[in-house]
Amino acid sequence: MPTSRKFRGALTALVTPFTPTGAIDEAAFKALVRRQIDSCIDGLVLGASTGESPTLNPEEREWLIGTAIEIASERPSRSRINIIANTGSNDTAATIRATRRAAQLGADAAMCVAPYYNKPDQRMMEAHFRAIADGGDLPIIVYNVPSRTGVNIEPATLMRLADHPRIVGVKEASANMEQIATILRERPADFSFFSGDDVWTLSTLAMGGDGVICTCGNEIPGEMAAMCAAAFACDFEAARRIHERWLPLIKANFVGGPNPVPVKAAMAMMGHIPDVLRLPLLPLEEQYRSRLRMVLQTAGLLDTTEGAAGTSTSETGRPAHSRAATAARA
């Protein structure tokens, strides 16, 4: 359906791979970005919760943004794919500085989370986002995730923010369908709505949403892009089939530990990254790892020999051979 909204489709909240010593695994990150682009993902969100934002320093965030833009610019895909920098924090001035730097690096937009820990009220949150939009030099996608921040951006507040020319969308992860429906009904025509919960992607697309900023896009980027494209073409039967096929994986990504603990374990089993996280996060416990491996095997994302042997990058420290990329596009 025709729309004036620039930001649409499936955007992967990309994991940040680390070496066994805890440094960013630069080679693995570059391979992840190329795999996403080759799978026709619509956009990448860098350094967000799935990318372990609390433990990334400013220089590392800038490297992730700049490297992804450089890789996307290697081919005509740069005109198609949106690179979104997560610049949000609970410090308004620091968020403005990070957003300006992302603009200098060439990001298409910034995603900014509601301030956490200091628990601002609605008036304070509105002032926070307006200040970022005024001074940040980028379009802003507001990120509402009360389960992590302890505060909820109410629809009335969001609609006031949507009047700002630089506040262009929301990633809505309130887990409140009434709130979601209200936003979708009341938003301006040029304001993008992204599901912030992978499991509700199909539901929000059916109500007119613009896509998803997802964790499962790490494993199945092509499938998430295809589900959004089918919905945009009003082929909801095709979108439903994709949703139903991948629902067990979508759910498994949030079992056994906080995001991104399970998805990093999955990506390690698939042979894409070492299963390394920065403290305070730790790798997935074995009882959940066995269940996740079974989900991946059933979905066709693992070599059966790899799964049977129990070998993964968490054990070897290096990506194992896998047919995952081929299976994910099948």
Count of C-beta atoms within a 10 Å radius of residue 60:
16
Evaluate the CA torsion angle 29, 146, 181, 260 in order and state its sign.
positive
Kind plus residue range of the DSSP H or E element containing 148: helix 146-149
**How far apart, in Å, are the Cα atoms of 169 and each of 26, 165, 195, 200, 210?**
30, 11, 11, 17, 10
State whether residue 112 is helix, strand or coil. strand
Which residue among the candidates 143, 251, 264, 288 is catalytic per the annotation? Answer: 143
Q: At what angle do helices 92-105 and 122-135 cross, to 10 degrees?
A: 30
Q: Nearest 10 degrees: CA dihedral of 227, 9, 89, 280?
A: 30
State whether residue 181 is helix, strand or coil. helix
Helix and strand numbers, DSSP H then E, in the chain: 15, 8
Q: At what angle do helices 92-105 and 58-72 cross, to 10 degrees?
A: 30
Which residue among the candidates 6, 171, 251, 288 is catalytic per the annotation? Answer: 171
Dmax over Cα atoms in the chain, in whole Å? 56
Judge whether 120 and 153 are in contact, CB under 8 Å: no
**Under 8 Å CB-to-CB from 308, ≥6 apart: which residues?**
none
Active site annotation includes 116: no
Query: Where do we find the tokens 């603990």?
Result: 261
Give the residue numbers annotated as catalytic, written as ranges.
Answer: 143, 171
